[in-house]
A = this chain, B = another copy of it.
Amino acid sequence: MTTIFDDLLATNKVCAASYDGAGLSRTPARHLAIVTCMDTRIDPIGQLGLKRGDAHILRNAGGRVNDDALRSLVLSVQLLGVTAIAVIGHTDCATAKITNESVRATLIEKGVDPGVVTDLDVHPVGDQQQAIRDDLALLASSPLLPHDLALAGFIFDVETGELEPVSS
């Protein structure tokens, strides 16, 4: 039976024929890192006109600068030359429509042991503009990062494809 992974491998062989990454550096050419959501409608490279080699791209549910994103950004900035970080949320984000309680209830309904969901924190986002401002403040004040980073926040509109800056 053909699986989705067989499909991915077959398509990758076609894509590899026109691959343009040979010889590129692991240091981002534009000294840029982007933190954004895992959402299906987001293609950071395509919608920002970036080229392969330009930027580090970090993605998680909600596009949050949590402990793990900070771990990655420490490597980006301190080892790999990144000097600018954009945090990009988006409209219609699933993490803005859930609470920890609602997710725990769903998991239990689906048969997950109630004992393992008690402490589950899925990082729900209340006010997304404020969440991005909080994330930028966290980056600006982290003792693990220099204080002269260029930082900016945006919301990506999944219906129009347009970015709007988040005011400070």
Q: Which 6 A-B pairs have the closest CB atoms?
A: A19-B161, A11-B49, A68-B68, A61-B72, A16-B161, A38-B56
Interface residues on A, range: 35 or more
Chain B: which residue is nearest A12 at the CB level?
Answer: B163
Q: Tell me the nearest residue of chain B to A18, going by C-beta.
A: B161
The residues in A between 139 and 162 inclusive whose CB is less than 8 angstroms from any CB of B are 143-144, 146, 150, 152, 154, 158-162
**Are A71 and B11 within 8 A (Cβ)?**
no
Q: How far is the CA of A12 from the CA of B20 in the complex (A)?
A: 22
Assess whether A131 is interfacial by the CB under 8 Å rule.
no
A111: B residues at CB distance < 8 A: 146
Asked whether B21 lies within 8 Å of A74 as measured between CB atoms, the reply is: no
Can you give 29 contacting A-B residue pairs, CB < 8 Å?
A5-B84, A5-B86, A5-B165, A9-B165, A11-B49, A12-B47, A15-B48, A15-B49, A19-B47, A19-B162, A24-B41, A26-B39, A26-B40, A28-B40, A33-B38, A41-B52, A45-B46, A46-B46, A46-B52, A58-B59, A58-B61, A59-B60, A61-B72, A67-B68, A75-B95, A75-B103, A78-B112, A110-B146, A112-B143
Q: Using Cβ atoms and an 8 Å threshold, which residues of chain B touch A127?
A: none
A41 contacts across to B, CB distance below 8 A: 21, 24, 26, 52-53
- On chain B, the residues within 8 Å of A95 by CB distance are 75
Which residues of chain A from 78 to 115 have a CB within 8 Å of any chain B CB? Answer: 78-80, 84, 86, 92-95, 98, 103, 106-107, 110-113
A98 and B79 contact, CB distance less than 8 A: yes
